[in-house]
Amino acid sequence: MKKAAQSSMRLPIMLVVAAAVIVVVVFGIRAIWHKPDASTPSSNKTAGVVVVIDPAHGGSDGGSTAEGVLEKNVTLAVANKMSAMAASFPGLKLVFTRNSDTEMSDAERFAVASQQAAQLFLAIHVNAFGQPTALGIETLVDSVHKAGDASWSFADAVQKSVVAATAAKDRGVKAQGSAFSRLTIPAASTLVGFISTPEERAKLIDPEYQDSIARGILQGVANYVTSAGVTPASATQTIPLDNGQTAKPAGTAP
Ligand SMILES: [Zn+2]
């Protein structure tokens, strides 16, 4: 009796197991079948939003100087810190206009942006003032821009993030005439502190403070990319530069 009951239970258990196996196999096949849909955007994401980082000045152009500290060295140090932490921001593909003490014209810097199909352009500068009391960080956009447009929102995201990362005085986003009027992608210059003010100059040459600036800038760029919904450009996309002209990314078919 006991044995008969056991064997009569075996059939329903086997049916349940067989049904479970079928469900797992069917859903497994469905998951594999649907993978191409999911992998298309993720492979684009690997490419990242192309962001040109431009450490201003270089070579015989030292930028602002004070007490032997040169703007060109501070901007390059911050850019090199950003390069070192790029892996922490996988949604961004960083392109640097220079990674050594090289002199470059604005045209050469913009050519890098054009060749690399840049989607965002951010220059790094250091501020200077006649009185050794000015403090803080500010981010500039060209005077063609108004609060709420793409360049202004980009500048605002970077400004807020760098101020948060450094606890420096917030001088806000300002518009002024510049060569950036030639760029039709969102572009800004962040001025990361006053070389002319002793306490801020000391911070600007401190590697840990440079780290904070670099992380703040990258987080700000990432915040803008998320809030504005910027997605990596397709390889064949042409990038408008120099008002009215377009440039094809390097290495793509005409
Ligand atoms: Zn400068």
Q: CATH code at 86? A: 3.40.630.40
Residue 113 sits in the same domain as residue 22: no
CA of 103 to the centre of ligand 1 (A): 13
For residue 18 the two structure tokens come to 């067989």
Tell me whether residue 253 is in a domain: no
Residue 199 sits in the same domain as residue 127: yes
Residue 79 sits in the same domain as residue 144: yes
CA of 97 to the centre of ligand 1 (A): 15
CA of 126 to the centre of ligand 1 (A): 5
Give the pLDDT of residue 219: 98
Give the pLDDT of residue 21: 54
CA of 123 to the centre of ligand 1 (A): 9
Region for residue 63 given its phi and psi (left: phi exceeds 0; alpha: psi -120 to 50; beta: otherwise): left
> Whole-angstrom Cα distance, residue 189 to residue 123?
4
Tell me whether residue 254 is in a domain: no
Give the pLDDT of residue 233: 84
Tell me whether residue 40 is in a domain: no
> Whole-angstrom Cα distance, residue 240 to residue 117?
9
- Name the β-bridge partners of 189: 123, 140
Number of domains in the chain: 2
CA of 57 to the centre of ligand 1 (A): 6
Tell me whether residue 100 is in a domain: yes
Residue 204 domain boundaries: 48-247
Residue 148 sits in the same domain as residue 222: yes
CA of 64 to the centre of ligand 1 (A): 6
CA of 8 to the centre of ligand 1 (A): 86
Give the pLDDT of residue 190: 98
Give the pLDDT of residue 35: 40
Residue 83 sits in the same domain as residue 11: no
> Whole-angstrom Cα distance, residue 31 to residue 19?
18
State which residues of the chain have pLDDT below 70: 1-46, 234-254
CA of 90 to the centre of ligand 1 (A): 28
Give the pLDDT of residue 242: 52
CA of 4 to the centre of ligand 1 (A): 91
Residue 24 sits in the same domain as residue 142: no
CA of 129 to the centre of ligand 1 (A): 12
CA of 191 to the centre of ligand 1 (A): 8
Of the candidates 164, 158, 153, 175, which has an alpha carbon nearest to the alpha carbon of residue 228? 153
CA of 253 to the centre of ligand 1 (A): 37
Residue 77 sits in the same domain as residue 178: yes
Tell me whether residue 217 is in a domain: yes
Residue 115 sits in the same domain as residue 53: yes
CA of 71 to the centre of ligand 1 (A): 7
